Amino acid sequence: MKADRLRLIFVIALVTLALVAIFWVDGGVEYNSFADRLLGNIKLGLDIKGGSRLDYAIKVEEGVEKSIDEVANEVVTVVRQRLDNANYTEAVAVRIGSGENSRLRVEIPGIDDPAAAERLVGKKGKLYFGEILDMQSSDVQPAKKIGMNYIDAVWLKQRDRGNGDTNIWYLVRPYSKIGAQKYYLDGSSVKDAKAVADTQRGGFSISLTFDGTGADTFAKITSNFLGKQVPIVLDDIVLVAPVVEVAIRDGRASITGRYTAQEAMETAALIKSGNLPAELIKLEERTLGPTLGKDIINSSLFAGMVGLIIVLIYMLVYYGVFGIVADIALIYNSIVLFGAMAAGNFILTLPGIAGIILTIGTTVDGNIIVFERIKEEMRLGKTALNAIASGYKRSITTIMDANITTILAGVVLYYLGTGTIRGFATTLIIGILGSMFTTLVVSRVFIDAFSGAIKVKPLKIEGDAK
């Protein structure tokens, strides 16, 4: 009984949190319909809601040794990072054309004000190596410190590495002060930055190479800041803040920290493209409607609703009491999925909706496996409650194996894909996790509750007395 109560409490708590995330009312937002209220806390992608598109010419500064193609690729990398930092993971930043005709095109979902999109994209990237005066962990930006030593210092947040350290703030000034001398070191002094395998500590590290002037400045900084952190800042975000272990006099540094390959490559690309030797000149701004068209969106949503209704009816007619449980589990999983998307600020696109529809099948499939196993146990003469316990015990391995393989496929899609592919993978992973929970926990609660109404004919064996 204790396990039953715990399952029931957990089921109620989770769906309550999901409903709060979905229907939490922002005092500054007005909703015109129930549909707007239902999706009000879920960000919609460019294909569903529309957004803004900006086109920029890429003007390379004089004296830059890199080709226009190299500079254009670096511009895309930095802009993509800005969009990700602003949580517009479904935004598109691409290079159009080649050579002197290279342009940057940015499409941002959910922004219908091109001026807001321009403020997010249009500034020129600036990277520098600074000095940390203080560090705090806080949900909000700490208060500015007063004093002559803090005149040029600002609080900057650490870049999110996905390890939970999202609330670390550094008080940074844009130079390193050694005695009375100020030493400035910016991204223009970085000749190269690349990800390399760390054979000693494991994982990956970031290898930096400075030009002659940068190497001299970096040598002075590292000689005087042994045992201290040196922050590398891009667009007012602290990319990394490695601790200086030894004085580096040859212009070649290594940033260690057990980075993943993806982390190391992205950080190296951002450092290498800091202080972009290019200016972005706006050519065009435009507010976009849904890229797929309203008719296509409505047709797709209608098809999804019809498919869901057919599945609900089929389960109810064919499985009876079991079908009622499956339908409840299906609706429960949908609520939890939308709640997770609202709470996590995920962006919903049409491929994401396809992922949601796919989870409908996996939720029903898991329940069918359990139902059929329970029916087999009852045909052997077991009581309903014993058959339910035995059915779940014998089904759990099959359900876990089937769903974990799908989750692994979704993880691969997320890390190797971009844009809407990631949107599909996100909804698929959340939906599959919800499917496993509803099959093994939620359905169990309701099957136990309806156990008295479950009727299965016993198995007939030839030779039995009649």
Same domain, 110 and 217: no
φ, ψ (nearest 5 deg) of residue 381:
100, 5
CATH of the domain at 336: 1.20.1640.10
Q: Answer yes or no: is 440 within a domain.
A: yes
- Give the DSSP H/E element, type plus range, for residue 209: strand 204-210
Same domain, 300 and 448: yes
**How much is the pTM?**
0.55
pLDDT at 220: 93
Q: Answer yes or no: is 168 within a domain.
A: yes
Strands 278-288 and 51-60: antiparallel
**CA–CA gap between residue 171 and residue 157 (Å, rounded):** 9
pLDDT at 165: 60
Same domain, 233 and 315: no
The residue out of 119, 150, 178 marking a domain boundary is 119
Is the separation of the CB atoms in 248 and 218 below 8 Å? yes
Complete DSSP assignment for 96-140: ES-GGG-EEEEEEET---HHHHHHHH-SPP-EEE-EEEEEEE-SS
Q: What's the structural domain count of the chain?
A: 3
Same domain, 262 and 398: no
pLDDT at 266: 74
Range of the domain at 63: 51-119
Same domain, 83 and 232: no
Tokens of 267: 């950080």
CATH of the domain at 225: 3.30.1360
The residue out of 119, 140, 163 marking a domain boundary is 119
Same domain, 264 and 158: yes
Same domain, 149 and 270: yes
CATH of the domain at 82: 3.30.70
Q: Answer yes or no: is 287 within a domain.
A: no
What is the edge-to-edge ordering of all strands in the sheet holding 204-210? 190-197, 204-210, 252-259
**CA–CA gap between residue 218 and residue 75 (Å, rounded):** 25
Q: Answer yes or no: is 281 within a domain.
A: no
Same domain, 143 and 158: yes
**Which of the residues in the chain have pLDDT under 50?**
27-28, 464-466
Residues in CB range of 64: below 8 A, 6 or more apart: 71, 277, 278
pLDDT at 156: 92
Beta bridge partners of 413: none
Tokens of 245: 């272990």
Q: Answer yes or no: is 464 within a domain.
A: no
The residue out of 275, 303, 326 marking a domain boundary is 275
Same domain, 196 and 298: no
Complete DSSP assignment for 211-272: -HHHHHHHHHHHHH-TTSB--EEETTEEEE--B--S---SSEEEEEEEE-HHHHHHHHHHHH
**CA–CA gap between residue 155 and residue 244 (Å, rounded):** 21
Same domain, 168 and 244: yes
Q: Answer yes or no: is 13 within a domain.
A: yes
Same domain, 256 and 194: yes
Q: Answer yes or no: is 415 within a domain.
A: yes
- Rg (C-alpha) for the chain, rounded Å, is 28
Q: How many CB atoms lie within 10 A of CB 118?
A: 18
pLDDT at 465: 46
Same domain, 362 and 338: yes
The H-assigned helical ranges of 86-121 are 114-121
Q: Which of 289, 292, 282 is nearest to 54 (CA)?
A: 282
pLDDT at 419: 61
